[in-house]
Amino acid sequence: YSVDDDEKTLSSLEIIVPRDLADGFINNKRESYKFKFQKIFDQEAKQDVVFDSVAKPVAECVLAGYNGTIFAYGQTGSGKTFTITGGAERYSDRGIIPRTLSYIFDQLQKDSSKVYTTHVSYLEIYNECGYDLLDPRHEASRLEDLPKVTIMEDPDQNIHLKNLSLQQATNEEEALNLLFLGDTNRVIAETPMNQASTRSHCIFTIHISSKEPGSATIRRSKLHLVDLAGSERVAKTGVGGHLLTEAKYINLSLHYLEQVIIALAEKNRSHIPYRNSMMTSVLRDSLGGNCMTTMIATLSIDKRSIDESISTCRFAQRVALIKNEAVLNEEIDPRLVIVQLKKEIQELKDELALVTCKQRTSELSQEELLQLDELIETFLEDNDPDSTLDVGADMRKIKYCFIHVKQLMNHSKISDTKLLSQRTSEEKGTNKEAGEEELKKLKELLQQRDNEINILVNMLKKEKKKAQDALFQLNAASAGPTVLEKSLSINLEESQSPSSCFSLKEAKDFSSSVHRLPLLSRQTGGKMSLGCQEAFEVFKRDHGDNITIENNKELLKQR
């Protein structure tokens, strides 16, 4: 490999992979891979140089109120933990986290114009489960028995971590103690690639809030320092059992991280798969959000790891395509706003009392209320359209007048409603009485009609009986057709049933059709009522067979 570190342009890294020539085969494998980065640190680079170039600009932005993230990515054994946390042998081997803590607290002590508060949290993501590295129960409990850190999301899609403690650190010593406590609780295992390989992703977060004395504006910022677990090819390392399970989870989470990076680098991409893993959910702001993010790619320049190094460089260049929009995190402290508003109200009251030469209280006195009531009553009773209600430039009196007029209006509406309901009930009572009287008259009329019908039915029954007697006498005197007599007697018997009126008519029709009605009229004519007699005469005169009936009568008389 070769490094071309030019200050004017971007630094470039070239990796040359010689072809392994094999007899009898054509090998067109690519030999040279060239990548450009903002800065490249060779193997001899010191930790302070890395901090000054990478972490210091981000820390300055965090102190100014912006969010920041620094994360190290690379294969296992390439130096991520050494870069982020540092080595334990020499003081000069301190990594980015302790140097950033020292720099931040030095700056906070120098700046006396603001009041700063700092908090620290340390999250470990092991096998896709979150744990609090600053939990004091780590020493006495197994990892499986500790409470898991869970992700919660508010309606504004802000991520909140449950069961993750925020420890206040007032100085550098307290913050470093918390860092060392978390480092001792990390999951470390020996692998073929590294004697002390970190088997989990760790996120060390520094929360800073600043406020100027007397100001209601608070600036809140956070700095994520992320040490990712190293990717490894199981086929190369040959691990098994518990290490294999850890490697699968590590590679899966890094795969999801790469998916998010690819999605963010693509234009017109509607969905970003942040929720695929816990790490991408926690680092949502850092990846394509409100944050200034710096990535450190660590390479292992070794013949066995050359493919992984090239893959890491490609991943780093995809990360460089992402554009974040960092904004200043300012918010208003509601408690300070309340205090300021109360102070402003009191000052305005003092000014008002000075202008009006009257000390106003929050409520009107009883005398003022009575005076206002009289003014309102006079105003309402005055029929002059040009009359005005003058209560002065006092909002308390104006509000009271409006409330009083509203109450009077509501009262008049209620009284009108009651009066209307009373009238309605009276009208309903009157209508009810009239209806009852009409119903009574109709019932009496109905009863009268029933009586008349009963009288008519009785009269019809008597007439039928007389007609029946006359027919029987006629049957005894003349030997008429027996069938005719039987049918006529059956009809007369049916006419004595409850449906008498219709049966009697049928009997009359039947008798007229067999030319016996003239005889019936002759036998019963002297005893029929006047109305029935007149109707019978009209019927006889208008009948179509009247001539035939008269001829038959003459013939019967001769016989």
Distinct helix (H) and strand (E) counts, the chain = 17, 15
- Give Cα separations from 500 to 378, 406, 411, 455 (angstroms): 85, 77, 70, 13
Please give the structure tokens belonging to residue 57: 């600009």
**75 a known binding residue?**
yes
Residue 392 marked as a ligand binder: no
Identify the DSSP state of 284: T
Query: Alpha-carbon distance 33 to 56, whole Å?
Result: 30
Query: Hey, CA dihedral for 546, 547, 550, 556, is it positive or negative?
Result: negative
81 assigned binding-site residue: yes
Q: Can you point out the beta strands (E) in 63-149? A: 68-74, 115-126, 129-132
Contact present, 377 and 371 (Cβ < 8 Å)? no
The two three-digit tokens of residue 350, written as one number = 């003092």
C-alpha neighbours within 13 Å on the C-beta side of residue 483: 1
CA distance 94 to 73: 18
Q: How far apart are CA 326 and CA 286, in angstroms?
A: 10
Rama region for 158: left / alpha / beta (φ>0; ψ in -120 to 50; rest): beta
79 is in an annotated binding site: yes
Of 76, 50, 343, 19, nearest to 199 by C-alpha is 76
Q: Are 85 and 183 in contact (CB under 8 A)?
A: yes
Q: Please state, in angstroms and rounded to a whole number, the distance separating the CA atoms of residues 81 and 72.
A: 8
> Residue with structure tokens 């009485």?
433
Residue closest to 224 by CA, chosen among 433, 421, 84: 84
- In one-letter notation, the amino acid at residue 6 is D
Closest CA to 371 of 407, 403, 400, 412: 400
Give the list of residues 6+ apart from residue 115 with CB closer than 8 angstroms, or none: 210, 211, 212, 213
> Quick one: CA dihedral 468, 471, 475, 477, positive or negative?
positive
Residues that constitute the known binding site for ATP = 74-81
Residues that constitute the known binding site = 74-81
